[in-house]
Amino acid sequence: MKKVMTGHKAVAEAMRQIEPDVVAVYPITPQSEIAEYYAQYVADGIVHTELVPVESEHSAMSACVGAAAAGARVMTATASQGLALMIEILYIAASMRLPIVMALANRALSGPINIHCDHSDAYLARDSGAVQIFAESAQEAYDYMIMAQKLAEHKKVRLPVIVNLDGFTLTHSAQVVEPLEDAQVKEFVGEYEPIYPLLDVDNPSTWGPFAMPDYYFELKRAQQAAMEAVPEVFLSVQEEYAKLSGRPYKGLFEPYKLEDAERVLVVMGSTAGTAKVAVDELRAKGEKVGLLKVWLWRPFPREEIASALEGAKVVAVLDRAFSFGNMGALYLDITSALMHRERRPIVVNYIYGLGGRDTSTEQLMQVLQEIKDAQPGEGLRYLGLRE
Amino acid sequence: MPSIKVLAKREEERVRFTGGHSLCAGCAEPMIVRTVLNAIEEPVVVANATGCLEVATTRYPTTVWNVPWIHSAFENAAATIAGVEAAYKALRKIGKIEKRIRFVAFAGDGGTYDIGLQSLSGALERGHDFLYVVLNNEAYMNTGVQRSSATPRWASATTSPVGKAIPGKPQDRKDLTEIAAAHHVAYVAQASVSHLIDLANKVERAMKYEGPKVINVLSTCPLGWRVPWDKSVEIAKLAVETCYWPLYEVEQGRYRITYKPRKKLPIEEWLKPQGRFRHLFKSEKGKELIAELQTAVDRHWEELLMKERCTQEG
Amino acid sequence: MAVELKSWRELPIGGVIPGGATPELNKTGSWRSQRPIIDLEKCIQCLMCWLHCPDNSILIKDQKITGVDYDHCKGCGACAAVCPVKAIEMVPERGGA
């Protein structure tokens, strides 16, 4: 049944239906309402979850690590500075192969302090070893939170999974969401089967040892293998969910009028929705344009995305954060993937939308037009910046 | 009251912490850890902050822990054990676990007084059922004897060294035990490696309570304090006999000093044998500083006696 | 430790060390420069040495001292220091003082 709900309500609903054993969470704009909704469920006794209202995000992720290693199903949510504060433990959670699912209400990193949307927080976690998925809408945020649980807990994966949803744009705007039934979600995610749980006191295990140079490398290589297993599991979880929900999830990214596109936008998050409109408008005028919307950002689907883009003439990669000192992070992902292909488009990099700056349909149409003149090897372009 | 024989029987039946670690010869930490673990009847899960204990007991792929044990970072032993305890509560609620399990965190003074203070305070405020044991050797020993806020005034540490201008750490140390007591948790205590049975008794009394419990244990570091490696117990005993480190507990807000020295020794007895205070005995200025320290110890001891009188009468 | 180093493929998940304590993998007895000799005749079985040993190296059976685990004893001398009847003597490990 279709409902109207904000993105954070959608995320909270997904969490409620998954009903984790432990939620350790600390408030930060624009995530706070997720914690508030969940706290209400707990206060009303409709979930068995132990809510741990920690005193900082660092403790939030630490408590999540303790709870997950103990053998419980664990979820949390944060944004921006909160992610920055917990980043140490996020890396550790990934190294410990703990399937913690976290909603990240994308918000700009300070400074200056800004509470609005950009992807600098997600980018901070890029190399953490956590899986990262981007949602375009509240519906996708809801759906991916549920898929994330199954993906995270899969025996071949066992990694933290971050579901990114744009702060304010998605978290605070009311949209149409069609949730599943409680029982459907419960069945889909199934029972959590912990590995070497701390609470199995008859079989003690040591978690988080000290590793010298003789073992650290091997332990990290093993972690890399888990990341490499993600795409296959992601696709199979998606397939199962598509059947269950009837929604057309298929692929590590969503191609939109991409097949014969000569000029392509690559974007992550809610701006993809605007991009679809821009593409439609130009297509109506006969322009061969298209969109590649990234769903799975980490691990990065190098070959799949390179194959989808190699036939285009020009690709405009939109990064919603700086990676100071070089081109945007998504641009770097894409160009390195295309590097070894025989056919390669010209790739242009736009930094856009920082600190909540809105991007209009017209601006994206303008981008698709102006990249006709793009030259290879250009530096950064800035969308909507007052020069 | 667990007698020494009871502790020994328990360890024979279920050794929780073995040899095979690389803590220094004569280190007080394993003495304390063994006693704490043997003093608890029920099964335990341990969280351990980064530090000597953690590093030396779990060099991959070896471990000396025969209980479930987790380390993740330096400042979060309390938050980590809070998560484990929350998981236990949740799984117990839905009938997935039935056993009674207890939760213990070990952290050093660095990982508690300083970087771990917030995490501890939060866990105390939230009322999780856990015992937090501070292994207090009065400095960041694992990284090379740097000063912490537990380092006593005028001790020499590598980041508060004795120099031509400044004779050691100029700041007084925090009173972590009182900070914990100010959270109004059921049980807080101060103990020492020199009085392990007193420690065992305190652990047993603490574990009778559900909720947060904190025991701050003085733990000699022969290397950091510059004492011979077989003198761990003897030196810590001097801390107690000079009333520098009183053995007391705060049980439901009532103070009780669990050991009162028959003869209170002057603070010199505690300072003299330790290399980290040696400089105080080399000059007139040093004598002044020692007198200062004596005044501070005396005052703190009197305050503690007063607290005991006040809270026991109520 | 003369244990063969494993390939990354053989390591348990997440850096976890399952299966409990592995004292046999680190025989710290090699650290010693002096060793404790317990005179079991003098010993009053108070168990103070057992209580204080940092390395679990005072062996007991039915709560009675039986000897020393020389595989792990680091020779710190804490046992000798706490023994109330001086039943433990620390002797040099390799002859000389």
Per DSSP, the residues of B114-166 read ITTHHHHHHHHHHT-SEEEEEEE-SSBTTTTSB--TTSPTT--BTTB-B-SS-
Asked if residue A160 lies in contact with residue A96, where contact means CB atoms within 8 angstroms, the answer is no
Question: In this model, does residue C2 exceed pLDDT 70?
Answer: no
Which stretch of DSSP H or E encloses residue B248? strand B247-251
- Three-state secondary structure call for residue B47: strand
Q: Are strands B130-136 and B102-108 parallel, antiparallel or unpaired?
A: parallel
- Three-state secondary structure call for residue C32: coil
Q: What is the pLDDT confidence band of residue C3, given thresholds at 50, 70 and 90?
A: confident
Residues of C in contact with A225 (CB under 8 A): 8
Considering the domain boundaries, does residue C72 fall inside one?
Answer: yes
B partners (3+ CB pairs within 8 A) are A, C
The per-residue pLDDT for C96 is: 53
C partners (3+ CB pairs within 8 A) are A, B
Do the chains contact at C18 and A98, CB–CB below 8 Å? no
Interface test with A, best of C1, C13, C26 (most A CBs within 10 A): C13
What is the rounded CA–CA span in Å between residue B105 and residue B100? Answer: 17
Q: What sign does the CA torsion over C27, C28, C31, C37 have?
A: negative
Do the chains contact at B91 and A199, CB–CB below 8 Å? yes
Predicted structure pTM score: 0.97
Do the chains contact at C72 and B20, CB–CB below 8 Å? yes
Q: Supply the DSSP symbol for C24.
A: G
Asked if residue A279 lies in contact with residue A291, where contact means CB atoms within 8 angstroms, the answer is yes
Domain covering B4-313 assigned CATH 3.40.50.970 in the classification: yes
For chain A, which ranges sit under pLDDT 50? none
Do the chains contact at A214 and C8, CB–CB below 8 Å? no
The minimum CA-CA distance between B28 and chain C, rounded to whole Å, is: 7
C94 at interface of A, judged by CB pairs closer than 8 A? no
A253-383: CATH number: 3.40.50.920
A108 at interface of B, judged by CB pairs closer than 8 A? no
Give domain A3-191+210-245's CATH architecture: 3-Layer(aba) Sandwich (3.40)
**Torsion on CA atoms A188, A194, A195, A201, rounded to nearest 10:** -160
What is the rounded CA–CA span in Å between residue A252 and residue A232? Answer: 9
Q: How many CB pairs under 8 A join B and C?
A: 118
Residues of A in contact with C18 (CB under 8 A): 196, 203, 205-206
Q: Write down the domain spans for chain A.
A: 3-191+210-245, 253-383
The tokens for B285 are 């200025």
Range of the domain at C66: 28-92
Q: Write down the domain spans for chain B.
A: 4-313
Residues of A in contact with C5 (CB under 8 A): 214-215
Q: What is the pLDDT confidence band of residue C94, given thresholds at 50, 70 and 90?
A: confident
The minimum CA-CA distance between B133 and chain C, rounded to whole Å, is: 17
The per-residue pLDDT for B314 is: 59
Residues 6+ apart with CB under 8 A from A213: none
Residues of C in contact with B59 (CB under 8 A): 26
Q: Give how many domains chain C has, as a whole number.
A: 1
Which chain B residue's Cα is nearest to C11? B61
Do the chains contact at C51 and B232, CB–CB below 8 Å? no
Of C9, C18, C21, the CB nearest to A196: C18
Q: What are phi and psi of B143, to 5 degrees?
A: -95, 0
- Three-state secondary structure call for residue B195: coil
Measuring CA to CA, how many Å separate B108 from each of A277, B36, B151?
A: 58, 15, 12
Do the chains contact at C5 and A221, CB–CB below 8 Å? no
The ipTM is 0.96
Considering the domain boundaries, does residue C70 fall inside one?
Answer: yes
Each residue's pLDDT, cut to its tens digit, for chain B (314 residues) gives 779 999 999 999 999 999 999 999 999 999 999 999 999 999 999 999 999 999 999 999 999 999 999 999 999 999 999 999 999 999 999 999 999 999 999 999 999 999 999 999 999 999 999 999 999 999 999 999 999 999 999 999 999 999 999 999 999 999 999 999 999 999 999 999 999 999 999 999 999 999 999 999 999 999 999 999 999 999 999 999 999 999 999 999 999 999 999 999 999 999 999 999 999 999 999 999 999 999 999 999 999 999 999 999 75
C17 at interface of B, judged by CB pairs closer than 8 A? yes
Do the chains contact at C54 and B231, CB–CB below 8 Å? no
C1 at interface of A, judged by CB pairs closer than 8 A? no
Q: What are phi and psi of A386, to 5 degrees?
A: -85, 110
Considering the domain boundaries, does residue C64 fall inside one?
Answer: yes
The minimum CA-CA distance between B170 and chain C, rounded to whole Å, is: 33
Do the chains contact at A209 and B84, CB–CB below 8 Å? no
- Crossing angle of the two packed helices A80-95 and A216-245, in degrees rounded to 10: 110
Of C22, C55, C62, the CB nearest to B62: C22
Interface test with A, best of C10, C11, C16, C17 (most A CBs within 10 A): C16
The tokens for A222 are 């093993």
pLDDT in tens, A165-221: 999 999 999 999 999 999 999 999 999 999 999 999 999 999 999 999 999 999 999
Rg (CA), chain A: 21
User: Which of B183-210 are b and which e, b meaning 16 or more Cβ less than 10 Å from the residue's Cβ?
Assistant: eebbbbbbbbbbbbbbbbbbbebbbeee
> Quick one: which of A164, A194, A162, A167 has its CA closest to A91?
A162
What is the rounded CA–CA span in Å between residue A268 and residue A270? Answer: 7
C16 at interface of A, judged by CB pairs closer than 8 A? yes
B59 at interface of A, judged by CB pairs closer than 8 A? yes
Interface test with C, best of B3, B17, B31 (most C CBs within 10 A): B31
Task: Judge if A3-191+210-245 and A253-383 fold alike in CATH terms.
Answer: yes
Which chain C residue's Cα is nearest to B193? C52
Measuring CA to CA, how many Å separate A369 from each of A281, A288, A382?
A: 12, 11, 15
Of B4, B23, B230, the CB nearest to C51: B4
Sheet containing A50-52: which strands, arranged edge to edge? A50-52, A22-24, A74-78, A101-106, A161-166, A131-134, A296-298
Do the chains contact at A24 and B86, CB–CB below 8 Å? yes
Which chain A residue's Cα is nearest to B85? A67
The minimum CA-CA distance between A86 and chain C, rounded to whole Å, is: 19
